[in-house]
Amino acid sequence: MRALISVSDKTGVVDFAKNLKALGWEVIATGGTMKLLRESGVEVLNISDVTGFPEICDGRVKTLHPAVHGGLLARRDVEEHVEALRVNGIEFIDLVCVNLYPFRQTIAKEGVTLAEAIENIDIGGPSMLRSAAKNFRDVTVVCDPADYAAILDEMRAEGNTSVETRLRLSAKAYTHTAEYDSMIATYMRAQAGLPEKLFLDFDLVQSLRYGENPHQTAKFYRSAEEVPFSLAHARQLNGKELSYNNIQDANAALNIVREFDEPFCVGLKHMNPCGAAVGRDVVEAWTKAYEADKVSIFGGIVAVNREVTREAAERMKPIFLEIIMAPKFSEGALEVLCTKKNLRLLEVDMTRSDVHPMQYVSVNGGLLAQELDVETKRVEASMTVTKARPDAAQLRDLEFAWRIVKHVKSNAIVVVKGGQTLGVGAGQMNRIGSAEIALKEAQAKGATEGLVMASDGFFPFDDCVTLAAANGVAAIVQPGGSVRDEDSIRKADETGVAMLFTGMRHFKH
């Protein structure tokens, strides 16, 4: 029995080769793998001894030879194949152990050049994997060091791997080469400016109990590349398994947290913020967010952008929450919160990044792709379009409200005072309906003056300004851009309301 070993990831390969030798296998190796094995006392054949041809072109050509691929692809049950190998002096190769040049790691390096990337495109490796995988009825193909132990155990017990094992390993090898090729294709197409194809690479995290509703099946996948503010790469410290709706809601909460540098907390239900606030620290931010809507936060999701302390945990514990997310939990906080066995605690990387991640949304028979809406204009006094101008405190609240309203389902209206949401109007078919909801919520909390309002889209009529002025709103921020902007500006001037146009809208459908 013959094995050919050629690996970039050399984890466990010495022990694997030694055990194959102990089982009576002859081992062939290439380049760096051969050097390592020989230095480790493993007797191996050089690939050139098998092909009768030296490695050429700086090692670019060494395994692309009939002596390799004939030995892999020939079917043992086809007489003509066996005879062809005999006539040409080619021996069977019964196992291939190959993993590929580190292309992903190469292109992830800062400042990597196209030439460097190209030199890390493996040619011979994928070819051997595909040949061996195609002939899985006779050949064992290994591309993952995690499989070494199980393969050796089966060989010791049965003399060789089973056809069922080889089929599974074949599927794994084809997956490995497909991922590798799609990664290269994505990179090369980006270099060439070709957008016609989209290749996605996601790994299964878990099968979910059900989807949005109990009759729907669902799975959760994550991208191979780790990104900040990602639930897929979060670390769960406590609680039961996440559900489909938990994941959707938690993702929405993380996108809101991304907006803020100062201590911030948001409570979220059904992908809309029900309470959000900034504070001097995480305790004050939590307290203000909770008090913004004590009813809706029941059974909700909370995200903060600071370490959860014991004091914050003690204030959160009495409230029924599904999830708490933070960049870190103190030991004291874990002692308090882990007593609630079902409460999910998730540590999430909240590192700032200039990368604009892509967002994918499936539609029937298609896929929409866009950059995530991570840019938010800072609200400045120079954006004022009315005679009245916001004071410093109102300007801070307008900035806060503007960063919240972009994450509320359109048509969206948010009412704020003192760095705290007091009313949220979401997902109505007209903007005045959302404004009525948000202002009614604010009134129910006794907030009747000095409020600010944010709208994710422009006002098509002056009715929202009229309603806002009658309910204690002193300043409004909106994108502007309506053909009737002058009507809203005129109404704001009549009522003494300051209004600012950002020139940027944030629809969230």
User: For residue 282, what is the domain's CATH number?
Assistant: 3.40.140.20
Say if residue 170 is in the same domain as residue 264. Answer: no
Residue 362 lies in a domain: no
Say if residue 23 is in the same domain as residue 168. Answer: yes
Say if residue 43 is in the same domain as residue 170. Answer: yes
CA distances from 449 to 49, 354, 452 (A): 88, 38, 9
Say if residue 168 is in the same domain as residue 23. Answer: yes
Say if residue 304 is in the same domain as residue 156. Answer: no
Structural domain that includes position 433: 381-501
- The CA-based angle 400-456-322, given to 5 degrees, is 65
For 371-429, give the secondary structure using H, E and C. Answer: ECCCCCCCCCHHHECCCCCCCHHHHHHHHHHHHHHCCCCCCCEEEECCCEEEEEECCCC
For residue 60, the domain's CATH number is 3.40.50.1380
Task: Name the nearest CA neighbour of 269 among 379, 159, 407.
Answer: 407
Residue 311 lies in a domain: yes
Active site residues: 134, 270
> What does the alpha-carbon distance between residue 338 and residue 348 come to, in Å, rounded to a whole number?
17
Query: Quick check: bond before 160 cis, omega within 30?
Result: no
- Report which DSSP code applies to 483: T
- Report which DSSP code applies to 145: G
Both ends of the chain: CA-CA distance in Å? 61
Residue 254 lies in a domain: yes
Contact 465, 476 (CB under 8 A): yes
Say if residue 177 is in the same domain as residue 251. Answer: no
Residue 431 lies in a domain: yes
Say if residue 158 is in the same domain as residue 237. Answer: no
Say if residue 144 is in the same domain as residue 238. Answer: no
Say if residue 392 is in the same domain as residue 486. Answer: yes
Say if residue 412 is in the same domain as residue 340. Answer: no
Predicted confidence at residue 49, as pLDDT, reads 80
Predicted confidence at residue 59, as pLDDT, reads 66
- Report which DSSP code applies to 111: T
Residue 376 lies in a domain: no
Run means of pLDDT, 10 residues per run, the chain, 509 residues: 90 93 91 89 86 72 80 88 88 91 80 84 86 93 94 94 95 91 85 80 89 94 87 94 94 96 96 96 97 94 97 97 97 97 96 83 91 92 97 97 96 96 95 96 93 96 96 97 96 97 93
Residue 43 lies in a domain: yes
Number of structural domains in the chain: 3
One-letter amino acid at 310 equals: R
Residues 6+ apart with CB under 8 A from 212: 218, 244, 245
Longest dimension (CA), the chain: 99
Say if residue 35 is in the same domain as residue 160. Answer: yes
CA atoms 303, 304, 307, 312: torsion sign: negative
Residue 22 lies in a domain: yes
Residue 352 lies in a domain: no
Say if residue 41 is in the same domain as residue 188. Answer: yes
The model scores a pTM over 0.75:
yes
Predicted confidence at residue 500, as pLDDT, reads 98
Which of 324, 347, 370 is the endpoint of a domain?
347
